[in-house]
Amino acid sequence: MKALKLSILALLMANAAFSQTYAPLDKTPMDMAYYPDNFAHDRKFAPKKVGKEVLARITYSRTAKNNREVFGNLVKFDKVWRIGANEAPEIKFYKDATINGKKVPSGTYTLFMTPGKDSWEVILNSDLDVWGAYSYDESKNVLTFKVTPVALDTVVENLSITFDGKNEKETTFYLAWDKTSVSFPITF
């Protein structure tokens, strides 16, 4: 009986230590998109399929709609938004890129957007490792340009970002959430 009590006590202590060591599960999981799509997976498991190098990667948090009105309510119009939740997303270009006719040197940038009713501003910023848009510094903008939002017929429950590559030199960046999508071309 004494051994059973000691075992239970050890189990309770281990559980308490475990719960103090690890943070609870995040409601908005982090995700990553590559161009070319699935680059990391294919490089490992199908290296002959890849045949090209990685050109871009974005890391972001996939927040959910959860029956909320997103644009204009949860995400305010005409206010800088960090896209998603938690840390501001970071987009990495492994080669020099051209976006909206402007050259962007290879490197990592924070990606912000300012949604509007008829037009959105896309912002690449050099300030990294930022939480939300609370410390957004306009003086560190590398590139800003406008895009036109597109109304979707179906609801996208979780914020989603992807690259749709046409070839090894050009792709389109897509962001969709709720019933709205925005996109812009990138060339390398």
Q: What percent of the chain has pLDDT over 70?
A: 81
Residue-wise pLDDT for 106-145, tens only, equals 999 999 999 999 999 999 999 999 999 999 999 999 999 9
Contact by Cβ (8 Å): 56, 93: yes
Residue 83, classified by CB atoms within 10 Å of its CB into exposed (0-12), middle (13-18) or buried (19+), is: buried
The domain ranges of the chain are 27-187
Interstrand relation of 170-187 and 150-165 (parallel, antiparallel or unpaired): antiparallel
Side-chain half-sphere exposure of 74, counting CA atoms within 13 A: 15
